[in-house]
């Protein structure tokens, strides 16, 4: 990288700005809710177990303070434990996780309102501590469960309002005790909400960074596919080019030798070229020659059907067709049909010495003949093609399993 070039790193989230209310466009907001819910669900189980343990410990402590206190608290505690168990069940059922955030809010309201109720009805010097369940509920949904900020704020306002209302009905223990309790709760609540705001802001930035990176990866994958296509496909004919042909042929041979489950039973290779193509170019010109190549290559392209089979331009007017899982006889039938279809195209060729239309000569070889690799198989097909041309062109020749060339009649 030169001195005057600037480095452009991938997005980390620090360069993303969000509105103060953190709202995203509707489609992204829905995706973020799903993303946030799944991230929170991973830690919810442990947090719920902790709450269940604390509720049991609270009942044990209340039983030590006095049996009359336990007689008043056991029902709200038991109901809170039941709601906690329901939330745990939702955590372990992915198909029910859409109900997890409202269930956690229900748990928070249960703890808050039960604390307010117990703080009002229980006549004990320590009954004011029940009101502290409201700020603890806010801490729970904002810190432990990381519920969405907007629903957390609305729930906090409702629970705090209920707590302050309950304090007016509770007995006065000392001057300004209720005011002190309210201010202390508001301090806890405000710090929790601020921490939740900072956390959700960072989480939303991380989500947007992941979204941008996903788009970059998708665009990069598409670009790589285009580049790979451009690198392995012949631009004129639409066939695979020589580089792509060699890579695919070598891969098929590798599977064949490794006896892979995806390996073909055999590999049939057809090599053909256009008869007297040089004379065609000299007679009709190179633009007409290009059109001839396109029309002739369209024949094998239309005939190749199997997923692993392919047609490739080997070079100039020479083409290769690879057929897998076909018998040698089927490959010979394919070759003869292809030769016939090219002839039936009726492309005029006054410079040909065998016909007045464009024709092709084909050499066929099979991996069953003992070729050790793609290059050896191609050499066998080339030898068969050479003898087909020597025998008069516009015909099919094959390399048999004994290494002898025979003409297809």
Cα dihedral 181/182/185/186 (nearest 10): -150
Domains of the chain (ranges plus CATH)?
A: 26-215 (no CATH), 242-407 (3.30.70.270)
- pLDDT the model gives residue 65: 87
Per-position pLDDT tens, the chain of length 409? 444 545 545 555 555 666 656 767 777 777 777 777 777 766 788 888 999 999 999 999 988 888 888 899 999 999 999 999 998 888 877 777 778 888 999 999 999 999 999 998 888 888 888 999 999 999 888 888 878 888 889 999 999 999 999 988 887 666 677 888 889 889 989 998 898 888 888 878 877 777 777 776 767 766 666 666 567 888 889 899 998 899 899 999 998 888 888 888 899 999 999 999 999 999 999 999 999 999 999 999 999 988 889 999 998 999 999 999 889 999 999 999 999 999 999 999 998 989 999 999 999 999 988 888 999 999 999 999 999 999 999 999 999 988 889 998 6
- pLDDT the model gives residue 229: 56
- pLDDT the model gives residue 2: 46
Dihedral over Cα of 260, 263, 266, 269: its sign: negative
- pLDDT the model gives residue 14: 55
Contact 335, 396 (CB under 8 A): yes
Contact 362, 353 (CB under 8 A): no
How far apart (Å, rounded) are the C-alpha atoms in residues 215 and 234? 29
- pLDDT the model gives residue 16: 60
pLDDT digits (tens, 9 = 90+) for 353-373: 899 999 999 999 999 888 889
How far apart (Å, rounded) are the C-alpha atoms in residues 270 and 384? 10
Cα–Cα distances in Å, from 330 out to 327, 334, 364, 366, 372? 5, 6, 11, 11, 22
Contact 368, 401 (CB under 8 A): yes
Closest CA to 210 of 392, 32, 5: 32
């Amino acid at each position: 990288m030169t001195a005057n070039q600037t480095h452009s790193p991938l997005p980390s989230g620090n360069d993303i700005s969000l509105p103060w209310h953190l709202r995203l466009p509707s489609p992204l907001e829905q995706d973020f809710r799903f993303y946030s819910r799944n991230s929170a669900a991973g830690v919810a189980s442990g947090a719920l177990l902790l709450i269940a343990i604390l509720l049991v410990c609270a009942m044990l402590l209340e039983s030590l303070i006095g049996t009359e206190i336990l007689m008043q608290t056991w029902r709200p505690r038991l109901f809170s434990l039941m709601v906690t168990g329901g939330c745990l069940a939702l955590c372990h059922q992915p198909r029910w996780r859409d109900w997890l955030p409202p269930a956690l809010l229900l748990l928070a309201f249960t703890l808050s309102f039960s604390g307010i109720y117990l703080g009002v009805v229980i006549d004990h010097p320590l009954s004011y501590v029940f009101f502290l369940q409201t700020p603890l509920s806010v801490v729970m949904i904002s810190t432990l469960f990381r519920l969405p900020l907007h629903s957390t704020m609305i729930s906090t306002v409702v629970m705090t309002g209920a707590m302050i209302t309950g304090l007016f009905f509770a007995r006065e223990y000392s001057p300004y005790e209720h005011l002190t309790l309210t201010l202390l709760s508001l301090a806890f609540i405000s710090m929790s909400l601020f921490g939740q705001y900072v956390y959700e802001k960072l989480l939303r930035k991380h989500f947007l960074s992941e979204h941008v990176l996903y788009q970059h990866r998708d665009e990069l994958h598409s670009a790589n596919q285009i580049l790979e296509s451009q690198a392995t496909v012949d631009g004129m004919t639409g066939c695979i080019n020589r580089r792509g042909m060699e890579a695919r042929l070598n891969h098929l041979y590798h599977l064949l030798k490794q006896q892979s489950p995806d390996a073909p039973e055999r590999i049939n290779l057809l090599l053909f070229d256009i008869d007297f193509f040089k004379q065609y170019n000299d007679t009709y010109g190179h633009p007409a020659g290009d059109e001839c190549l396109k029309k002739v290559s369209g024949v094998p392209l239309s005939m190749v059907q199997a997923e692993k089979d392919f047609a490739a331009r080997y070079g100039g007017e020479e083409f290769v067709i690879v057929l897998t899982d076909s018998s040698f006889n089927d490959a010979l039938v394919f070759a003869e049909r292809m030769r016939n279809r090219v002839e039936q195209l009726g492309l005029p060729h006054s410079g040909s010495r065998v016909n007045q239309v464009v024709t092709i000569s084909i050499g066929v070889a099979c991996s069953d003949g003992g070729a050790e690799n793609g290059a050896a198989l191609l050499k066998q097909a080339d030898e068969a093609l050479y003898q087909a041309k020597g025998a008069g062109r516009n015909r099919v020749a094959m390399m048999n399993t004994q290494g002898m060339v025979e003409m297809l009649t």
